[in-house]
């Protein structure tokens, strides 16, 4: 097997995949359309990492739990600068009854629940400077990461070549190699390709059927104050991070297919309102400010909140096969040596590292049982198969 690969997109998905492949001997060329890595949704000054569970979606909760445990443990082993991450806890403010039901559900999944989460109580509220009437859950292993610092660390490898200002316009297979052409008419060739460019995944002919919605997110920040804000990431309608880089960072709005690039005052006001229940004093302080800085970026999200991670079909072969032939996983017409990793939504820094690890195992032909379960869940072709009433094979592309 020729171990050279082109990865399109140098956000957290592309950078983490490049990292895992480089560490297993691959020669990686990482192509980024912007003038630097970690732009877009991976370019915010902070990313909160905590598990966002659902009350009635056990498969999603299993995926979330695997991703969260993997990612937090992996980041701790990377030897990042201590100022670029901290996993000292994260609080999610929830309705008291909802938090109680989640706690019961998670008790069935987590062996050592006491070290994983706690239901909010007065002592927790006091310790972390959360307003006294709040309820919810404290995730002891949650925290935050500096996204840009993480991505830079991941691509600092002798096997990784990063090329910026290269917007890929076309992907074509010639003989046994993939050829990628950019808007500057530059060509790159490799035996394998991974598309990790978020909401732009559908712009290529081979993956145009993979629908995502672009969600505009705006965050805001003010210079650090003397207020005793929560010392850990605190999430309600929005989130408030502890002081990072001498800033109080909070947000974020989430608007589907809204492409306004400028900071909007209306969204700044929404972000301020979203932290009202976290810390009243800081909320009032922000209301008094004449201007507040911020940043806008976009995240790609799928309709079912599950990312696209894995292989895609050879479209020509797919059109020729009958439904009864496609009902057998062994007959599915996978396109060789092309992979995708996209659609992580607002959970990119929780999901993407774990999914990149699994995808690297697929590329290396070294899948574990758990890897296969994950790829069954994130199958990029699930919608096409379900549309043909092939729901079972859509979630069982690998036997486990």
| pLDDT tier at 1, thresholds 50, 70, 90 | low
How far is Cα of residue 389 from the mean position of the Cα atoms in its chain? 29
Q: Per DSSP, what are the bridge partners of residue 99?
A: none
Domain boundary among 298, 331, 357: 298
CA-CA distance, 67 to 374, in Å (whole number)? 10
pTM above 0.75, yes or no: yes
Averaged pLDDT, 294-300? 96
Q: 222 and 205 in one domain?
A: no
Question: How many of the other CB atoms lie within 10 Å of CB of 288?
Answer: 6
Give the residue among 94, 145, 141 at the shortest CA–CA distance from 120.
94
| pLDDT tier at 206, thresholds 50, 70, 90 | very high
Q: 378 and 360 in one domain?
A: yes
Q: Are 173 and 179 in contact (CB under 8 A)?
A: yes
Mean pLDDT rounded to a whole number for the chain: 95
Q: Are 354 and 341 in contact (CB under 8 A)?
A: no
| pLDDT tier at 232, thresholds 50, 70, 90 | very high
Q: Are 254 and 298 in contact (CB under 8 A)?
A: no
Exposure of 198 by Cβ count < 10 A (0-12 exposed, 13-18 middle, 19+ buried)? buried
CA-CA distance, 267 to 52, in Å (whole number)? 23
| pLDDT tier at 360, thresholds 50, 70, 90 | very high
Q: Per DSSP, what are the bridge partners of residue 313?
A: 334
Tokens of 382: 């699930």
- pLDDT in the model for residue 214: 94
Print burial letters for 212-250: b (CB count within 10 Å at least 16), e (below 16): bebbbbbbbbbeeeeeebbebbbbbebbbbbebeebbbb
Question: How many of the other CB atoms lie within 10 Å of CB of 267?
Answer: 24
Q: What's the pLDDT tens digit per position in 87-117?
A: 999 999 999 999 999 999 998 888 888 899 9
Any domain includes 399: no
Averaged pLDDT, 374-388? 97
What does the longest C-alpha to C-alpha distance in the chain come to? 67
Q: 94 and 16 in one domain?
A: no
User: Does pLDDT of 33 surpass 70?
Assistant: yes
CATH code at 342?
Answer: 3.50.50.60
CATH code at 289?
Answer: 3.30.9.10
Any domain includes 268: yes
| pLDDT tier at 10, thresholds 50, 70, 90 | very high
Any domain includes 400: no
Question: In this predicted model, which residue has the larger pLDDT, 22 or 175?
Answer: 22
CA-CA distance, 149 to 83, in Å (whole number)? 10
Any domain includes 236: yes
CA-CA distance, 41 to 348, in Å (whole number)? 8
Give the residue among 216, 175, 210 at the shortest CA–CA distance from 195.
210
Residue recorded with tokens 């999901």: 351
Tokens of 255: 């608007």
Domain boundary among 278, 298, 318: 298
The boundaries of the domain holding residue 369 are 4-41+149-211+303-394
Q: Are 106 and 140 in contact (CB under 8 A)?
A: no
Looking at the structure of the chain, the number of domains it has is 2
Residue recorded with tokens 């290269």: 166
| pLDDT tier at 198, thresholds 50, 70, 90 | confident
Q: 12 and 134 in one domain?
A: no
Averaged pLDDT, 201-221? 95
- pLDDT in the model for residue 300: 94
Q: What's the pLDDT tens digit per position in 131-156?
A: 767 889 999 999 999 999 999 999 99
Domain boundary among 249, 276, 298: 298
Q: What's the pLDDT tens digit per position in 34-88?
A: 999 999 899 999 999 999 999 999 999 999 999 999 999 999 999 999 999 999 9
Residues 6+ apart with CB under 8 A from 123: none
Q: 272 and 329 in one domain?
A: no
Any domain includes 47: no
- pLDDT in the model for residue 349: 96
Exposure of 30 by Cβ count < 10 A (0-12 exposed, 13-18 middle, 19+ buried)? buried
Averaged pLDDT, 248-261? 94
Averaged pLDDT, 6-14? 97
């Amino acid at each position: 097997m020729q171990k050279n690969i082109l990865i399109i997109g140098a956000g957290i998905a592309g950078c983490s995949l490049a990292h895992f492949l480089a560490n297993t001997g691959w020669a990686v060329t990482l192509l980024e359309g912007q003038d630097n890595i970690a732009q877009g949704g991976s370019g915010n000054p902070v990313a909160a990492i905590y598990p966002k569970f659902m009350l009635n979606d056990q498969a999603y909760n299993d995926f979330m739990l695997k991703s969260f445990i993997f990612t937090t443990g992996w980041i701790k082993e990377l030897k990042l600068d201590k100022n670029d991450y901290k996993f000292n806890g994260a609080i999610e403010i929830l309705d008291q009854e909802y938090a109680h039901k989640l706690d019961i559900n998670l008790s069935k999944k987590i062996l050592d629940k006491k070290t994983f989460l706690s239901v909010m109580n007065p002592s927790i509220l006091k310790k972390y400077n959360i307003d006294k009437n709040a309820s919810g859950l404290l995730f002891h292993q949650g925290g935050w990461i500096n996204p840009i610092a993480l991505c830079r660390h991941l691509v600092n490898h002798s096997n990784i070549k990063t090329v910026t200002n290269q917007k890929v316009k076309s992907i074509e297979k010639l003989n046994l190699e993939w050829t990628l052409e950019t808007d500057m008419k530059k060509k790159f060739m490799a035996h394998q390709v991974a598309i990790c460019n978020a909401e732009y995944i559908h712009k290529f002919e081979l993956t145009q059927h993979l629908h995502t919605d672009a969600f505009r997110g705006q965050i805001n920040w003010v210079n650090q104050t003397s207020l005793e804000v929560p010392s850990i990431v605190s999430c309600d309608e929005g989130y408030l991070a502890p002081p990072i880089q001498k800033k109080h960072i909070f947000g974020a709005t989430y608007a589907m297919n809204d492409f306004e690039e400028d900071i909007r005052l209306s969204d700044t006001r929404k972000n301020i309102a979203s932290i009202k229940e976290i810390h009243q004093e800081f909320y009032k302080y922000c209301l008094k400010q004449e201007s507040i800085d911020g940043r806008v970026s976009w995240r790609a999200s799928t309709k079912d909140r599950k990312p696209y991670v894995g292989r895609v079909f050879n479209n020509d072969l797919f059109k020729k096969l009958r439904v009864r032939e496609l009902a057998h996983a062994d007959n599915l017409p996978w396109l060789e040596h092309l992979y995708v990793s996209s659609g992580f939504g607002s959970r990119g820094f929780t999901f993407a590292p774990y999914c990149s690890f699994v995808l690297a195992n697929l590329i290396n032909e070294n899948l574990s049982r758990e890897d296969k379960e994950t790829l069954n869940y994130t199958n990029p072709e699930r919608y096409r198969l379900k549309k043909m009433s092939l729901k079972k094979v859509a979630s069982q592309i690998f036997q486990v």
